[in-house]
Amino acid sequence: MTARGRVIIAALLAAAVASAAASAADAAAEAGPARRGGADGAAGAGGVRGAGGADAKVAAITNVRIVPVVGAEVASGTIVIEGGLIAGIGAGVAVPAGAEVVDGTGLRAYPGMIDSYSQLGLVEISGVAATVDNRETGRINPQVRALEAVRYDSMHIPIARSNGVTAAVVAPSGGVISGVSCLLRLDGWTNREMAVKPMAAMHIELPGLGGGRGGFAAGRMGAGTARVDGPGILAELKALFAAARAYEKRRDAAAKDARLPLPEFDETSEALLPLLKGEMPAMISVHGERDIRAAIAFVRDEGLGAVFYGVEQGFKAAGELAAAGIPVVLGSLYDLPPVWEDGYDAVFRNAGVMAKAGVKVAFSSSSSSLAKDLPYHAAKAAAFGLDRAEALRAVTINPAEIFGVADRMGSLEKGKAANIVLADNDILELRTKIVRVWIDGRECDLSNRYTELLEKFKKKGSNL
């Protein structure tokens, strides 16, 4: 079959899957975080994953250098995996009888990394519209949910996983309200099975700064001008939120009193209510200094939980961000400064400046095909002033805290899900090889599109 044929079939399959997921979603729309027993998983039906009962397996990684992210490093210790959780961790931990023993001599154990903004499962081949599902048409789309379209067998997921990324926020984009993201564990046979948070955040986008990027034939830096129409859009959102609150009052009043007229179903308001009730944060794409200040005031006035995304001029408003307690998810560092006068290294030093001011920062791939590069964005920021330990936190515990899952992931601690990455060196380094990966205590298959194609064509041999 041709490559094109294969992809067309894959796309058809994906479409069928998405439509099945959509109908399943009708039934389970407000199901909330999919709990699967234990810290997501031990013995529940959802935990069975082909391997059948793999969750129940007891394993111990021994003689390994433990980098727990929270707490002190252990030069040589043991991690016990039981029931999908970290059952024991430290220097003097005994190996349970019958456990599979993994000798970690010469290796380091890290918590799996978390990508705070990705397109995994929504964008397969960016230039082929049939495989792109992250950007709905129109401006106001709070009703669309990333989880319901995630292609769980995306070729990009195993590649990211085999580089130590074990969870990712999958975000919709475009328009003003882009939709609802989900937080996925990067292991599972269906989209719902992968969901750690089906409704992670409501995505709002303020205008970009222009400039930046620098793709093919780019290099027009300086053409970017600081756009400041964010406040206008925020005013529009305030009106929309007020309407949703008013709708809720009418709806609830009518539910209690049959004499009152029943308001017509309002899809937008219904979809906004979980955000307005604090059931999820707003994740606001905001870029310029003035818009950042406006957005800080906006979330304060509206009483919203908030995460800011992008925040290219955050270094100019770091104090205010810190004072407001709003965490920041950096966009891809594979970008030029949108405003040239900010300096050639603005994108690189931004995270360091904000972290020093007390802002909680996290990195993102902002990609699907390069989601595997998450650690390198953190390392790049470290080259330009971010403390190296903070860089590691910004791809592990910080995103876990930002998205409310620090009770189960983001660090290697007893009782947390066993999301463990064994690496032969510093996990943020380009040359480091990831040796083994566990997600919820299940060891992952590290083969992927790269390795499959390579192995296939290695067999070709020379025909010359």
* Contacts to other proteins by CB under 8 A: 3-4, 7, 124-128, 155-156, 213-223, 316, 334-336, 340-345, 368-370, 372-373, 375-376, 379-380, 382-384, 388, 428-433, 449-451, 453-454, 457, 460-464
Residue 194 near residue 165 (C-beta atoms within 8 A): no
C-alpha–C-alpha distance, residues 275 and 258, integer Å = 28
The angle subtended at Cα 199 by Cα 194 and Cα 203, nearest 5°, is: 120
Asked whether the beta carbons of 427 and 412 are under 8 A apart, the reply is no
Decide whether 6 or 249 has the Cβ nearer to other proteins.
6
Q: What angle do CA 359, 334, 203 make, to 5 degrees?
A: 55
In sequence order, what are the beta bridge partners of 233? none
| Both tokens assigned to 338 | 């949108």
Torsion of CA 423, 428, 431, 435, to 10 degrees: 20
Structure tokens at 132: 């792109």
Nearer to other proteins, 39 or 155 (CB): 155
Nearest approach, Cβ of residue 231 and other proteins (Å)? 22
Contact residues for 6 (Cβ-Cβ < 8 A; gap 6+)? none
CB nearer other proteins, residue 159 or residue 402: 159
For 84, 164, 368, the CA distances from 168, given in Å and listed in that order, are 19, 11, 10
Cα–Cα distance, 452 to 432 (Å, whole number):
21
| 3-class state of residue 110 by DSSP | strand
CB 53 within 8 A of CB 44: no
Nearer Cβ to other proteins (87/354): 354
450 residue type, one letter: Y
> CA-CA distance, 79 to 60, in Å (whole number)?
5
Rounded to a whole number of angstroms, the minimum distance from the CB of residue 435 to other proteins is 12
Residue 194 and residue 361: Cα distance in Å, rounded?
Answer: 25
Nearest-approach distance from CB 380 to other proteins, in angstroms: 7
H or E segment and range at residue 231: helix 230-256
With beta carbons less than 8 A apart as the criterion, state whether 400 and 411 touch: yes
Q: In terms of CB distance, is 312 or 335 closer to other proteins? A: 335
Q: Which is nearer to other proteins, 204 or 353 (CB)?
A: 353
Question: Residue 279, Cα to own-chain centre: how many angstroms?
Answer: 18
In the complex with other proteins, the residue whose CB is nearer, 109 or 386, is 386
Measured from the CB atom, the residue of 71 and 222 that comes closer to other proteins is 222
CB 292 within 8 A of CB 313: yes
In the complex with other proteins, which residue's Cβ is closer, 165 or 180?
Answer: 165
Nearest to 55 by CA among 447, 417, 422, 412: 417
Which of 228, 384 has the CB closer to other proteins? 384
- How far is Cα 310 from Cα 377, in angstroms, rounded to an integer? 13
Closest approach, Cβ 156 to other proteins, in A, equals 7
